[in-house]
Amino acid sequence: MSESITPSGTQLWLNGRFVPEDRPAIHPLDRGFLYGDGLFETLRAEEGRPLYFAPHLDRLKRGADELHLNLPGDLRWDETIVRLLHVNGLCEGAARVKIIVTRGKEPQLGLPLARRPTLLLSAERYQPPSARDYLEGWRLHCGLNAYAPPLARYKSLNYLFYLCARQAALDAGCHEAVVLDPEGRVCETAAGSLLCRSAGSWWSPESPHQLAGITLQQVRRLLGRDGTVVDTLAARPADLRNADTVWVLNALIGVIPAARIDDQIIPEPLHNAADRIRGLLLAGS
């Protein structure tokens, strides 16, 4: 899809058209606005190139199929995102790209098939954590009074739970929140996956109340090149606190070691290994 575009501030791609950010046209009765009835994906772009877009799109499509959302079959996703980055002057350095799809304006109850879904793409400059941040690591907060919602396996617009968890972590003087499931097992963080190492063995928490992490999938693959196996574990908070290494993973930060979980020091952050994996991720290896 090609258009002649004269940039005027930040441009969004909305339902097949580029529009200025200050003049969007989303119906006030859109179910994404009313109910959080929709899905999203966030990915990183480097030098105008979206990273690991195919697995992000696959996850979006799986969720859309299960929730009866329609994605356009003829959209050239890669070309559209590259064009969006171009018109916003984001072809150098790091950028954050976000895809949102909602059910649009559908009055029926339940999950009616989206006849006219809303599809929005946005992009903005992304400032990753500093080298010092990566070196010092994050402090994680493991709150025990809230549990992952039933929709946790979807990248849903029903995101308020995770924002509340993050705020609780910030209020506790930490960077990020550890999320538990209703059985008290560790799921993930408010905005990422967890990868841990105990007694020389790597593992990731396992729960039906968690999102399939794209970056975790890629890091598993990269570690596997060296013969490293990553197991899954139905982990409790004690397993996490007693781990030798804890990494937080997501599409934007890549890999950042955890320095503490509440008052518990994580003894072996493995900064050099994390730096190597993060470099491979940014290279699209």
Q: How many CA atoms lie within 13 A of 56 on its CB side?
A: 22
**Domain shared by 201 and 263, yes or no:** yes
Q: Which domain CATH number covers 203?
A: 3.20.10.10
Burial of 73 (0-12, 13-18, 19+ CB in 10 A): exposed
Look at residue 261 and tell me if it is in a domain.
yes
Domain count, the chain: 2
Based on the domain organization, do 143 and 118 belong to the same domain?
no
pLDDT value, residue 1: 38
Strand-pair partners of 195: 247
Query: Do residue 121 and residue 149 come from a single domain?
Result: no
Q: Is residue 267 part of a domain?
A: yes
Residue 93 and residue 135 in one domain: no
Q: Are residues 157 and 50 in the same domain?
A: no
Residues 110 and 145 grouped into a single domain: no
Q: Are 140 and 274 found together in one domain?
A: yes
Secondary structure (DSSP) of 99-147: EEEE--S--SSS----SS-EEEEEEEE--PPPHHHHHH-EEEEEEEEEE
Please indicate, yes or no, whether residues 146 and 233 belong to a single structural domain of this protein: yes
* Domain encompassing residue 57: 11-125
Q: Quick one: 194 and 71 in the same domain?
A: no
H-only helix segments in the chain: 31-35, 53-66, 77-87, 131-136, 160-171, 214-225, 237-241, 271-283
Per-residue pLDDT, 40: 98
174-200 confidence digits (pLDDT tens): 999 999 999 999 999 999 999 999 999
- The residues facing 101 across adjacent strands are 39, 119
Q: Is residue 207 part of a domain?
A: yes
Shared domain for 237 and 157, answered yes or no, is yes
What pLDDT does 8 receive? 54
pLDDT score of 74? 82
Q: 176 and 119: one domain?
A: no
- pLDDT < 70: residue spans in the chain: 1-8, 24
- Asked if residue 2 belongs to a domain, the reply is no
- The DSSP code for 269 is -
The CATH code of the domain that includes 80 is 3.30.470.10
